[in-house]
Amino acid sequence: MMENLKFGEPILITQPTLPDFSKYCSTISEIWENHWLTNAGPLNKRFEDKVKKYLDVDNIASFVNGHLALEIAIKALGLTGEIITTPFTFISTTASIINCGLKPVFCDINPNDYTIDCEKIESLITDKTSAILAVHVYGNPCDVEKIDKIAKKYNLKVIYDAAHAFGVKINNIAIGNFGDVSMFSLHATKVFNSIEGGLLSFKDKNIKKKLESIRNFGITSQESIDYIGTNAKMNEFQAAMGLCNLENIDENISKRKKIVNTYIEGLKSVKGLYTINMNNANIKRNYSYFPILINSKEFGMSRDLLFDKLKEYNVMTRKYFYPLCNKISAFKSESETPIAKSISDNILVLPLYADLSINDVLQIIDIIKYFNKK
């Protein structure tokens, strides 16, 4: 152990961004004035308006969390049968399909940015397929043009799990404008948080009422319940956090960018360690995660051993996303997705959050380099 490299306190994979305390207090003081806590309150409405502008989309609805938003999107689009999706994601994506009584059909990913491999989608389409649920994993945009072409050809709906992609743009078009519906997670661990929270942006403004009704038990008016719904309303404390954090979002993303560039520069000479190419000029990124891929032979140590060793030095990394969603014990799937398996077995996500100091990043790089030399 190189004692001088060990952190005194654990460096966590992430740390939520919090607004100035007095700012939050003054925002929530409105709740005491108007005695409105949840169920589409005034702060919630203000938040929806502001975040819609920030995300540069035509239609938006807010939810208590991203996961329920995803389930509600599936229900509101009236999907049935099978949905083609990626196994390389957080379990929420797969669970949303299964919880709605549908079958996830797993498509392999591409090895460059780990999003769904569009060349492999068509061979998985059957007469039961109703949609493609793709994930902009780590904020890397899917090939939205190819997915759109396939969806049009086979008359499928497209949902993007954009949980990681808040603020991302492709060719200056905000990412929530692609597909039929996009889901953004506003969980504490995300680039932008409302404590817990979720958003759906959607193309067809006619589904707005349905989405809002399903999030409120299917109630459409005091005397009519037109859908079997759930309770997925964002409360006023969440909306207040969203409003406050929205003011700092651009500053946070630029701090994250600096951290990511420091990692990339510091790690580029490390043998057997690969990072995603971030140099596509047409993509505006949000720097939500920093994954590294370990080739154990070249690096001299497996991903799992590196994970353990970094922990000894108080660097808390995560194996996002391991296990793969088609290899979990709770859900048996026969599908084989070799590229996703190899990425999932060798990926490690390094600590990244706006307030992580550059000195700490440099120290993490030194620790990784130290193991690389051994």
Chain residues binding ligand T4K by CB under 6 A are 12-16, 65-67, 89-90, 92-93, 135, 161, 163-164, 185, 187-189, 198, 316, 320
Question: Judged by CB, which is closer to ligand T4K: 163, or 240?
Answer: 163
d(Cα 270, Cα 310) in Å, to the nearest integer? 16
For the bound state, the minimum distance from the C-beta of residue 315 to ligand T4K, rounded and expressed in Å, comes to 11
Asked whether 59 and 264 are in contact (CB, 8 A), the reply is no
> Closest distance between ligand T4K and the C-beta of residue 80, in Å?
22
Q: Can you tell me the distance from the alpha carbon of 173 to that of 78, in angstroms, rounded to the nearest whole number?
A: 27
Q: Between 69 and 118, whose beta carbon lies closer to ligand T4K?
A: 69
Minimum distance between the CB of residue 206 and ligand T4K, rounded to whole angstroms? 25
- Single out the residue of 202, 222, 343 nearest to residue 274, CA to CA: 343
The C-alpha atoms of residue 86 and residue 132 are separated, in whole angstroms, by 9
Residue placing its CB nearer to ligand T4K in the complex, 99 or 295: 99
Beta carbon nearer to ligand T4K, 108 or 372: 108
* Residue whose Cβ sits closest to ligand T4K: 66
Please name the amino acid found at residue 303.
Answer: R
> To the nearest whole angstrom, how small is the minimum distance from the Cβ of residue 321 to ligand T4K?
8
Radius of gyration of the chain (CA): 21
Which of residues 15 and 59 has its CB atom nearest to ligand T4K in the complex?
A: 15
Smallest gap from Cβ 256 to ligand T4K, in A, equals 15
Residue 114 near residue 138 (C-beta atoms within 8 A): yes
Task: For residue 217, say if its preceding peptide bond is cis, omega within 30 degrees of 0.
Answer: no
Separation CA 20–CA 24 (nearest Å) = 7
| CB nearer to ligand T4K: pick between 15 and 261 | 15
Q: Which is nearer to ligand T4K, 13 or 259 (CB)?
A: 13
Closer by beta carbon to ligand T4K, 15 or else 220: 15
Spatial CB neighbours of 78, under 8 Å, sequence gap ≥ 6: none
Q: How far is the CB of 72 from ligand T4K (least distance, A)?
A: 12
DSSP string, 11-44: B-S-------HHHHHHHHHHHHHHT--SSS-HHH
Where are any strands of DSSP class E within 238-289? 273-275, 283-284
Q: Find tokens 């589409």 and name the residue.
A: 40
Query: Least distance in Å: CB of 210 to ligand T4K?
Result: 20
Smallest separation, CB 331 to ligand T4K (Å): 16
DSSP state at residue 209: H
